[in-house]
Structure 1
Amino acid sequence: MPKDKQDLTESGLPKLAQPAVRALRNAGITRLEEVAKLTEPELKQLHGIGPTAVEQLRRALADKGLDFSK
């Protein structure tokens, strides 16, 4: 498996910086489908989620035909 940052983990989440990983884990989010249940503003409110993580998650969601909640 390539080691590119855009690779998806088994959970469907892209490989993110550790602060973003901790933010998602602390919010109880372990799968990409759970990210899709959040609005983008809700995601941005999580401490540790910055613009890069939001964009990585947006691309991962789009690759699966998903998007942030509206």
Structure 2
Amino acid sequence: MMASTGGLPRSIGAPATRALNAAGYTDLAQLADVPAAELSKLHGVGPKALRLLREALEARGTSLT
């Protein structure tokens, strides 16, 4: 199971984590400047996961586009 250390935040939930991993995103830093619309197309990535990813990225000084 993916840990949040260097990976994706656990708070986004298992379905979103699985969807992002399947799409090749295994680390939060990889999501910087990725369009939110692209991520929302992934089955398992809903509004809550997108909000949590935005918040996590903003805490690092980056964001989704």
The normalised TM-score by structure 2 is: 0.85
What stretches of structure 1 of length at least 5 have no aligned partner? 1-7
Give the fraction of aligned pairs with identical amino acids, expressed as a percent. Answer: 42
Look up the match of 1:47.
43
Aligned length: 62
Look up the match of 2:32.
36
CA root-mean-square deviation: 1.5
CA distance in 2, matches of 1:39, 1:32: 14
Matching of residue 11 in structure 1 with residue 14 in structure 2: no
More helix by share: 2
Query: After TM superposition, what 4+ stretches of structure 1 lie above 2 angstroms from structure 2?
Result: none
CA distance in 1, matches of 2:39, 2:51: 11
The normalised TM-score by structure 1 is: 0.79
Task: State the shift of 1:12 in Å.
Answer: 4.7
Task: State the shift of 1:13 in Å.
Answer: 2.2
What stretches of structure 2 of length at least 5 have no aligned partner? none
